[in-house]
Chains A and B, each alone.
Chain A
Amino acid sequence: MKYLPLLMLSVGLLPARLLASCPPDIILFGQLSYAQKQPSLWRINEENPYAANNIYNDLVIKYANSCQLIDEKLDLDVSLYGLTYYSYRNIGVFEKDDSRTRLLIDKLQLSYVISDSMRSDVGKLRPKGGLFYLQSPASLMNNYYSGFKPSRIYDAAMRPVYSESFWGAVVAKDTEKNSVSLTVSPKLTRIDKWYQSSGNWSATERSNASERYMLSYSDYRFDNNTPSVNVMLGDSRSIAFSNGYSYSPQWVVNFELAYHFNQQWRHLETRRAEMVQNYAFPAELYSVANDNGVELALGLQYTTERFSQFGIEYYFQSEGYSVSEWQKQTDLINFLNQEMKVVPLAQAFDAYKYLMASEIYNTSSKGNLLGKHYINTYASFLMSDHSSLQSFVVLNIMDKSSLLGINYNKPLDQLDKRLEVYTGAYTSFGSHDSEFGLFGETIGTYLGFKYHF
């Protein structure tokens, strides 16, 4: 919210005539959802920290505009989201947000045309995504989730918006033969509230808590292959390769490989976990080690002539928890759940549980997975009436826990060409000590609308 004055100033500086010539894109999302959660390993005050079932109302308004400030030289691209939600029942202590209303600056981008093939973008920018739906190793500019904990808008268009965009600059040279770009994202703050979920951090903490410089190169000179390389420098160093091989316009094989010079997400430190189990109380339990790591993703995708899409992806990360490492984590949760007669000790244990739950949540909220091996399958059908049906199944191969989802979107052209409705369901399956079952097996359903003003 502290960037609101800056935003208002930049918008206020625009001549009224200019704004009038740039019609905004305004969309209202409204959604009713229901979620049911099974009890999990976690207990706070000997109670389930999640509501067993609840109904949520979500409302989101999007404002987007794109204007030429200087004809054919300088563009301003703005995209803002206002979010709010209401729950019918009290939410659990692990699900609480500091505020139920939030403003997201998704994009505040000034683009300057340097030459016929070069441009520069400055402001709050959205990183380019990778080739994979589940996790793209070559996508190195990942930021934290900015939405609420218990509920979110499930429309597909909102998915990228919930990942905070970053303040920074890009200089890019794009030609038909190749593309080269340098992205700079400065460190503007540091994260010290690891005991809170990322949605409760400031937007800058979600996006600019580390110093990042990324050099990217893509080559378009090969008929059927599009190789790319990304090099990340700064607080974290990585090199990533990717290639999309088109066997035909319909069949595409995707490949991404990343080598990291240090861990990409915070891991439970075994030594500190053992300290807690010996009634010594370290300030932190999780950290990033300077261990090298590898990420690999392979995918096969088929796109029909009417743009329906089907695919299967395999993902591996060397830094994912092994079975024994994961066991240490669940052992610690079980240890902290034991009944404590001494009140200060019970409070200390509860504080550790908040910390652990937030650390695990925040690892996921940056798009990371916790295990080593995954399979993802997805299908997206586009119908002749412009409705669409999407589904996915994600399987953690090691612990057999899974995520499933299905979403149906239909424009209501007969009623109003600006109105779309969507509905769907999702579920997470797995044992109490599995990745997707750790916070309780969940089943949810939703019904929403999207209105373009």
Chain B
Amino acid sequence: MKIRLLLTFIYPALLTSLALANTTSTAEIKALEIIRQSDEVRSPNKPFRYTVTVKEFKSEESAPIRQQVLDISMRFLKSDNGSAADARSLARFVYPPRNKGKVMLSDWYDLWFYTPELRRPIQISRQQRLLGQISNGDVIVTNFEYAYHSVLLGEEPCGNRVCYKLALERKSPEVTYPKVIYLVEKESYHPYKAAYFSLDDKLIKEVSYQDYKPLLGKERPAKIVVVDARYGNGYSVMEYSDVRFESLPLFHFTKEYIQRGGN
């Protein structure tokens, strides 16, 4: 709660002071490099697939009050040697069993939901993306480099290490969260924490990246804890498993493929 309050009050002040400074500096270039490196930790530059188990907790209870399992395919590719950048994902609902057949498709900042009962994929509006303790967009990795302008605010201790502190501001209204304060560990570029803010600088969510382990050739977080400011002391844990590279052809990420039962 203290962190949340601190961020709520300090974040706007920091942004204001940064706006006053001349920001076309090496700080911005450095910030971009940090974001790039940390994006690469959160998501490799090759198509991959994983299972995410989302558990929702009430703070006083050890057992989750709700659990959901999704099978996620990601094409999260940065522009490289002339190849085009890509940011698509497909989330197939696995558990509870009643949700089988439901699919969420994201294509850059467009998000679609499909269930066999509906005739067509339904576009998820910006408001819908924020519903629930884990929102529709949370289970899918966001490409921070393409989605946000970034500014390096400085360095600060994080756990027993030192982190870069960055202020991120979305490049377009299509990005779900307007502002982010992002902590990235120095040297390793491991994401440590991201605090998401509304346009009026109210804290929405705080995300901690935990349980780093070797995954797809690099140390990556296998657990993400999300604390939603709107849900009191409740929090959610996303656990990643069965992470593997797959070729994942482009047609998997089309509305047509989903409607033809290819999910």
Q: Point out residues on A near B: beta carbons under 8 Å.
A: 25, 27, 72, 77, 107, 111, 113, 115-119, 121, 126, 128-133, 156-157, 160, 170, 172-176, 179, 181, 218, 220, 226, 244, 246, 248-250, 252, 303, 305-307, 309, 380, 386, 411, 413, 417-418, 420, 450, 452
Contacts and interface: CB of A to CB of B under 8 A. Distances in A.
Contacts of A450: 98
A197 B256 CA distance: 34
B118 interface: yes
Given A72-B246, A305-B125, A172 B117 contact: no
A205 to B, nearest CB: 23
**Highest count of chain A CB atoms <10 Å: which of B97, B116, B128, B246:** B97
23 contacts: A111-B262, A117-B249, A119-B251, A119-B262, A126-B261, A130-B119, A131-B120, A133-B119, A170-B260, A173-B251, A174-B257, A175-B251, A176-B107, A176-B250, A179-B254, A249-B122, A249-B123, A303-B122, A305-B127, A306-B128, A307-B115, A413-B96, A452-B96
A327 B246 CA distance: 62
A172 B251 contact: yes
B226 to A, nearest CB: 20
Given A25-B100, A119-B249, A119-B262, 11 more contacts: A72-B247, A77-B261, A107-B261, A111-B262, A117-B251, A131-B119, A175-B250, A176-B250, A220-B254, A249-B124, A305-B125
Contacts of B96: 411, 413, 417-418, 452
Contacts, number: 102
A286 to B, nearest CB: 31
A418 B259 contact: no
A128 B257 CA distance: 10
Contacts of B125: 248-250, 305
B239 to A, nearest CB: 18
Contact of A128 (B122, B127, B259): B259
Contacts of B260: 121, 128, 170, 172
B159 to A, nearest CB: 36
Contacts of B124: 249
A420 B98 contact: yes
Interface string B232-263: 00000000000000111111011111011110
A452 B98 contact: yes
B113 A117 contact: no
Given A111-B262, A117-B251, A179 B119 contact: no
B98 A386 contact: yes
A244 B119 CA distance: 11
A207 to B, nearest CB: 16
A450 B107 CA distance: 34
Contact of B254 (A174, A252, A411): A174
B3 interface: no
Nearest to B102: A307
Nearest to A68: B246
Given A107-B261, A126-B261, A246-B123, A452 B251 contact: no
A191 B29 CA distance: 72
Contact of A174 (B113, B127, B251, B261): B251
B131 interface: yes
A170 B260 CA distance: 10
Contacts of A175: 250-251, 254
Nearest to B122: A303
Given A179-B256, A218-B256, A418 B251 contact: no
Contact of A115 (B100, B116, B249): B249
A158 to B, nearest CB: 11
Contacts of A306: 128, 131
Given A156-B117, A174-B256, A418 B123 contact: no
Contacts of B257: 172, 174
Nearest to A177: B254
Nearest to A121: B260
B62 to A, nearest CB: 19
A172 B262 CA distance: 12
A155 to B, nearest CB: 11
B119 A305 contact: no
Contacts of A307: 113, 115, 118, 122
Contacts of A418: 96-97
B54 to A, nearest CB: 14
B256 A172 contact: yes
A176 B253 CA distance: 8
A123 to B, nearest CB: 12
A168 to B, nearest CB: 13
Contacts of B120: 131, 226, 244, 252
Please name the 10 residue pairs, one residue from A and one from B, whose CB atoms are nearest each other, closest first.
Answer: A452-B97, A179-B256, A174-B251, A249-B123, A174-B254, A249-B125, A72-B247, A174-B256, A116-B250, A116-B249
Contacts of B250: 116-117, 174-176
Contacts of A252: 120
Interface in B87-142: 96-98, 100, 107, 113, 115-120, 122-125, 127-128, 131
Contact of A176 (B98, B128, B246, B254): B254
Given A111-B262, A220-B255, A411-B98, A132 B119 contact: yes
Contacts of A174: 250-251, 254, 256-257
Contacts of B247: 72, 113
